[in-house]
Structure formats: structure tokens, C-alpha cells
Structure 1
Amino acid sequence: MTTVESGTGAGPLLRGWRERRRISQLELALRAGSSARHISFIETGRSRPSAEMILRLAEHLDVPVRERNALLLAAGYAPRYAETSLDDPAMGALREGMERLLQGYEPYPAVVVDGTYTVLAANRGIAMLLEGLPEHLLTPPLNAMRITLHPEGLSSRIRNLREWRGHLLTQMEREIALARSQPLRELYDEVAAYPLPEIPEIPEITKIPEITKITETGAGPEDREDPTPYPYFALPLQIEHNSRVLSFVSSISTFNTPLDVTVAELAIETFLPADPATAKYLQSLTP
């Protein structure tokens, strides 16, 4: 067998992914239907794995699609996964589906981003939240993390900024650990260094009024509901808009078993009203 120089070829890359996932050679071998000896030979370069074996190991190591192509190239094989632009006619059905999803979610905010949080599409709910931001933050390509955490961006409007900022940075740290993306690492270093803006106290009169109860006959309001804080079921994004504080919880969706690098890195984030007052206010803006 030909010995591959240390640090080159697919073997060391596979070993790096295995160690990152904290899986032993034996455990990986059992998952992939191989032997620990064979895995060792692959990692040290004593054995050249087939393209199918590389993809099988990559699947069990949860290697991102983009990095699976890199593994194949390192082993001397052609990439298996295409990277198709969203503007390509072949992506027409995907674009149409995402547009319908975004529009159907209105008046609530929803956005589509790629692997480095570049905004690819957004609905009018997102546009509403971005009203009044400086032009330099809204010049394409827009970046969701920059817009959110920049001192001149949404951060000055986010009432629980420290908690929400911590959530976003932790989310990016997890993605960097999983994908080993240098562009994402550079973005993280940039936004983590942004200073925290001074956030003034919000006068009580600017908060969303509590929803009043209506009698069954519709004759008029009864006593106001209990003014205690709403029991959020997840960390909310609390953001000021037009002298009101809106509360959202976010959900991120990705595509199952992607066969294209572009599709694999797409994420659709939707923002669900976290309390009745926010939902009522957004619905009042709908024509």
C-alpha cells in the first residue's frame, strides 16, 4: 500500500472530524459496517478509501455537505455534490416554495439566510423591523448577524440584548464547531467585538397595552387581565417598534437530506409572536 504523507489526503481530515465528534475508531467502524483496523489504516494513509466509503464515514460523522466534497477531493475523487446558484433555473421550484412560505407567514417576520447569515429573502414582517436602520447596514448583501448586533442596527432596539446576543453567539459557536467554516468564524469575531449600546429605560406608556377582556355579548371591556409578565415558553426576542415592545420566539428550519451545497446551507428562520399583544398588534397592521 502507498503511504500518504502525514497531514495530507482524506485520512487526516476524517480523523479530525472523528475526533471533533468524540467518536472512537471502533464506534465509527461499527456504525459504518467496517473494522477499527480499516478505519485506522484510512486515517493514517495506509489504505486509500473508496469514494463510497468516504461518503459513508462522512454521513456517520455528520460532516457538512460542502466538507464532504472536500474529503472526496483530498482522496483524489470528483466532488459528489453540486453547488447551484439560487438564480439557476433548476432552483425555480425551491425559490417559489420559499417565497410562498415567507408570504404565507405574514404579518409575522420570516427570513431565509445562507451558511454565513447572508439574507437571501425576507418578508414584509422583517422589513417592518428594519425600518429606520442606516443605509450602510441595508446595502446588499445584507447580513442578519450584522444587522442584529451592530450598535447602529437592531441592537439598540432589543430590550433583552444581553440575553439575545448571548443566544446568537452561542448558536454561531455551535455552527462553527460543526462546520469548521472560516467565513463564519470571521463573522463571529466581528460581531462578538461589537460594543453593547446604551439602552435607555422604556417609559411605561410605550409598552404594548394589556389586552382587555370582552364580554360574551360584546357590550364592552371588563377588568384588565393580570399585568404580571407573560409566561414565555422560550427565550423571546423583545424588540421595540413604533414605541411598542414586541416579543417573538424564533424557529429555524433546514432541508432534509440535501444533495446540493447551496440547499444544505439554507436556513429559514420564522418569528412567532410570544404573547397575545404582539400577535394582535401585527395583525392590526395587515390590510
Structure 2
Amino acid sequence: MELPLRERNDLLLSAGYAPVYPQTPLDDPGLEHVRTALRHILTGHLPYPAIVVDARHELVLANDAFDLLTEGIAEHLLRPPINVLRLSLHPDGLASRIVNLEQWAQHILDRIPRDDLYEELSGYVPNAAPGPDHVGFAVPVRLRSARGELRLTTTITTFATALDVTVSELKLEAFLPADATTAALLAG
């Protein structure tokens, strides 16, 4: 079975066995090598924004270019824990700066389970059916910024071979320019 480590541990516990996979807090000294590697990746992605989130979509780490995404965001959304999906779709968050909000919101909502967070987020955006060009991935976000309109695509990296529950649930999201104009604006 291709179950996530957390679910494997839960199955073992329900069968009366001890969990096999550790769940180490990310700030534990034993995971310093993981935090160092993540910081190197984030720094190496500059001048483009990149973030690391946990299983609850809460911000763990971000590079300096993340500030470009958070300009003008309401302070209450930037207090830890910062849920990046809420930050994206909340009316006081990025939503007011996203030119293609309906398309971007659909892209986000397609990726998450239908739980309380889904219900909250879907309440922030118009209920729009995906258009004929919606493919579910590689949806560029068109974002108004002080530098001009940015067109960004994202890639998400997971650490599927990790043997620690915490590390296996991390996701690194890297924002990349979708066109030469955006690349030039971010390089400047």
C-alpha cells in the first residue's frame, strides 16, 4: 500500500502495534540537516519566491522574495501560524491582487480535501465551474504587484522518501516566472 507515513502509523496503532515511523518536531536538533537543506534550496531559488509548508498548509520557511507576495496583506493573516492557502484566497490576503482569481482559486481548491479549510476557502471565492482550458496543473497566477503584473507558475516538491512523518509531509512550493517580462521584473 502506498499510504503516507502518518496513516501507516495510525493503522499500526489501530492493530495494537507501536508506530514504526518517528514524528520529530521540525525544530528538533536532530532535524537541523533538514532545515539547513531547505534553507539552501530556498536561497538558491532567489530572486523568485519559494516557501515550505507543513501538512496543514502552514508556512514553515520562506525565502526573502516571499515578501513580494505578501505586500499589502492584512496583518492578521501574517501572524503565525500562517496558512498559505488562506493567505492566497482570503479577501484581506492575496485575493485582491490576483487578476485571475477564479482560475487560481479553482486550482487551489482542486488540490485540497473537502474539509473545514476547504469550506472556508470556497466561501471566499465565486462559485465558478472550471473553464474549457482548465487542466488542473500549471495554472499561472497573475498577480498585481508594485513592480507590475507578475505571471507565476508553481512547482511543488515533496519528500516522499523521508522516513520521518514530519519531513514526509513537508511541501516546497517554488514560484517561477511564466514569461520573460515577469522574469525581468523579478530579477530587477
Aligned to 1:137: 77
- C-alpha distance in structure 2 between counterparts of 1:113 and 1:270, whole Å: 11
Aligned to 2:172: 268
- C-alpha distance in structure 2 between counterparts of 1:235 and 1:261, whole Å: 29
TM-score scaled by length of structure 1: 0.60
- C-alpha distance in structure 2 between counterparts of 1:259 and 1:243, whole Å: 42
Contact kept? 1:116, 1:187, Cα under 8 Å: no
Aligned-residue Cα RMSD (Å) equals 1.4
Q: Deviations over 1:155-214 (max 9, x none)?
A: 1100011000001000113xx6xxxxxxxx221121111245xxxxxxxxxxxxxxxxxx
1:191 to 116, 121, 141: 121
Q: Percent identity?
A: 47
Report deviation, 1:246. 0.2
SS of 2:139's equivalent in the other structure is coil
Aligned to 1:66: 6
Aligned to 1:280: 184
- C-alpha distance in structure 2 between counterparts of 1:195 and 1:105, whole Å: 30
Q: Deviations over 1:50-82 (max 9, x none)?
A: xxxxxxxxxx2x211101111001111001011
1:87 to 23, 27, 35: 27
SS of 2:149's equivalent in the other structure is strand
Aligned to 2:162: 258
5+ residue gaps, structure 1: 1-59, 177-184, 197-232
Q: Deviations over 1:233-275 (max 9, x none)?
A: 9321100001611001100001132211101110000011000
- C-alpha distance in structure 1 between counterparts of 2:138 and 2:4, whole Å: 28
SS of 1:84's equivalent in the other structure is coil
- Relative contact order, higher structure (CA 8 A, sep 6+): 2
Contact kept? 2:153, 2:177, Cα under 8 Å: yes
Larger radius of gyration: 1
Aligned to 2:88: 148
Contact kept? 2:162, 2:168, Cα under 8 Å: yes
- C-alpha distance in structure 2 between counterparts of 1:111 and 1:195, whole Å: 23
Question: Could you list the runs of 4 or more consecutive aligned residues of structure 1 that deviate by over 3 angstroms after TM superposition?
Answer: none
- The residue type paired with residue 259 of structure 1 is L
Report deviation, 1:149. 0.3
Report deviation, 1:98. 0.3
- The residue type paired with residue 76 of structure 1 is G
Q: Deviations over 1:37-61 (max 9, x none)?
A: xxxxxxxxxxxxxxxxxxxxxxx2x
Contact kept? 1:109, 1:270, Cα under 8 Å: yes
TM-score scaled by length of structure 2: 0.91
Aligned to 2:132: none
SS of 1:142's equivalent in the other structure is coil
* Count of aligned pairs: 178
- The residue type paired with residue 238 of structure 1 is R
- C-alpha distance in structure 2 between counterparts of 1:171 and 1:195, whole Å: 15
Aligned to 1:234: 138
- C-alpha distance in structure 1 between counterparts of 2:138 and 2:7, whole Å: 32
Listed as ranges, the matches of 1:194-205 within 5 Å are 194-196=124-126
